Amino acid sequence: MRVVPIVLAALVAVPPALAQRTVVHCGTLLDPATSMEPMRERTVVVADGRVVEVVAGFTADADAIDLRGATCMPGLIDSHTHLTGESRKDGYIDAFRLTAADRVLAAVPFARSTLMAGFTTVRDVGSNEGADYALRDAINRGDVAGPRMFVAGKSLSIMGGHADPTNSYREDIVGVPDETDGVVNGPASAQQAVRLAIKRGSDLIKFTATGGVLSLQGDGSGAHFAEDEMRAIIETARERGLTVAAHAHGDDGMQRAIRAGVSSIEHGTYMSDETMAMMRQAGVYLVPTITAGKSVADSARIEGYYTPVVTQKSLTIGPLIQDTFRRAYQAGVPIAFGTDAGVFRHGRNANEFVYMEEVGVGFMDALRFATVNAADLLGRSETLGALRPGYVADLVAVMGDPLADASAMLDVAFVMKDGRVVKRDGQFVPSPERAR
Ligand SMILES: [Zn+2]
């Protein structure tokens, strides 16, 4: 994890006597870490960016934030985003046009709309040119409004695989990729690529265990990486305290990744019953990304949106993901909420709740996936994903009742991140020091 210089930490610390106390009155509180039942009339007390206590009933504080007509819950976590890009027609030319600076500046509104949608934390699983490191650091400094980011840097791929950035382009122009581009061949090369990613600032590692939909190569689901390469990635990351996410559509690639010790399978489209049993047994999370599946299929129906090969893959794979999620849920596979935002417009992450509800998942379970489970996948279950004493004070509220209708999550009225109100009455609240 990032090392905070001791001097800086000393400057930031506020003496307890000066700590400002914020009190929030919640008509209903949903917090799967505490109870799978709704809790009526709760007061959440916050100081120094942390939850101090949650008490039954409403306190007499005159300056309390009044959410008595609202449903409160912990800040939401999206375990699969790409904040430094967004899908658009003919977007493949961006590889040749955009610098890291272009990508980061373009991402500023993406980060803000994600936060305004109630997502106070994201696990950002794949970026280019190191743009995700710069965005994360700018958000942590308070220069840019956005969710707390845990970033993977460049996704690791085999040569010609799903995240090889040079696929289908002229070799005399783009060259032959290597570890510096996140492209590996063999266990030693895989180890080198992981160490380079950590040196650059990655909080986790992502690799593409099978083909994928949006890359310019024909294989959407076949296994990529030999198992010894996967093992090298995962062991090298683990030694340094990082978790590893594996993108996978095909079943063979998933099984290799699970045997090699991966933390999560992203998408999981063609997952067999046998693979579900392996995941349940090993405690490997599925990050479903139903929204991505639906949105690539929708985009593929727009003439010329993707190249012909990507159009074909989008129409084949995209529509299957929701049913895979349903089967995995029913089979008891651990699930962490994740959408693949960036493949569709940022800020629409909460549609995933609606798609979960469509296949019979109750809202408290879906919320557990977006809080407790997602925090666990990040290795942050002691600080994130719950409104309990000592936890980071991230709190979201909606005026509707998501227990009755998950689409209430599409209209977030209030967002607190790190104990600071960033959205109130449905409006962005700029940071007082920086007014943005
Ligand atoms: Zn993705």
- Together in a domain, 344 and 366: yes
Strands of the sheet containing 76-81, edge to edge, are: 76-81, 119-124, 148-151
| Cα of 174 from ligand 1 centre, angstroms | 23
Instruction: Kindly give, in sequence order, each residue whose CB lies less than 8 Å from that of residue 111, ignoring residues fewer than 6 positions away.
Output: 83, 135, 139, 144, 145, 146, 147, 346
Q: What is the pLDDT of residue 217?
A: 76
Q: Give residue 340 CA to ligand 1 midpoint distance, Å.
A: 5
Distant-in-sequence, close-in-space partners of 8: CB < 8 Å, separation ≥ 6? none
Regarding whether 286 and 149 lie in a shared domain, the answer is yes
Please, is 295 exposed, middle or buried when counting C-beta atoms within 10 Å of its C-beta (0-12, 13-18, 19+)?
buried
CATH number where 329 lies: 3.20.20.140
Residue ending a domain, choose from 351, 377, 403: 377
Distance in Å, CA 126 to ligand 1 centroid: 7
CA 292–ligand 1 middle distance (angstroms): 8
Of 377, 394, 420, which closes a domain?
A: 377
Q: What CATH number does the domain containing 50 carry? A: 2.30.40.10
Give yes or no: residues 162 and 176 share one domain.
yes
Per run of 10 residues, the mean pLDDT along the chain (length 436 residues) is 49 57 97 98 98 97 97 98 92 88 96 98 96 98 97 96 90 94 97 98 97 82 93 98 97 97 97 98 98 93 90 90 97 98 97 98 98 98 98 98 98 98 97 66
Query: Whole-angstrom distance between the N-terminal and C-terminal Cα of the chain?
Result: 27
pLDDT at 9: 47
Whether 40 and 180 share a structural domain: no
Which segments of 89-185 are extended strands (E)?
119-124, 148-151, 157-158, 183-184
Which pLDDT score, from 0 to 100, does residue 227 have?
95
| Domain co-membership, 366 together with 419 | no
Q: Give the distance (Å) from ligand 1 centre to CA of residue 256.
A: 19
Based on the fold, state whether residues 118 and 151 are members of the same structural domain. yes
- 42 plus 187 within the same structural domain: no
Measure 26 CA to ligand 1 centroid, in angstroms. 35
Q: Is 420 exposed, middle or buried (0-12, 13-18, 19+ CB in 10 A)?
A: middle
Q: What is the DSSP letter of 371?
A: I
Q: Residue 168's pLDDT is what?
A: 87
Span from the CA of 59 to the centroid of ligand 1 (angstroms): 44
Q: Kindly give the distance from the C-alpha atom of residue 274 to the centroid of ligand 1, in angstroms, as a whole number.
A: 24
Distance 11 CA to ligand 1 centre (A): 37
Q: Judge if 132 and 174 occupy the same domain.
A: yes
Number of domains in the chain: 2
Report how far ligand 1's centroid is from the alpha carbon of 56 (Å): 41
Report H helices in 283-398: 290-300, 308-317, 321-330, 351-358, 363-368, 374-377
Residues 114 and 65 in one domain: no
Domain co-membership, 128 together with 59: no
Range of the domain at 220: 76-377
243 alpha carbon to ligand 1 midpoint, in Å? 16
Residues 200, 128 within the same domain? yes
For residue 216, the model assigns a pLDDT of 81
Q: At residue 194, what is the residue type? A: V
| pLDDT reported for residue 18 | 55
Token readout for 371 is 């809080």
- Name which of 246, 179, 261 is nearest 210 in CA terms: 246
Q: What is the pLDDT of residue 10?
A: 47
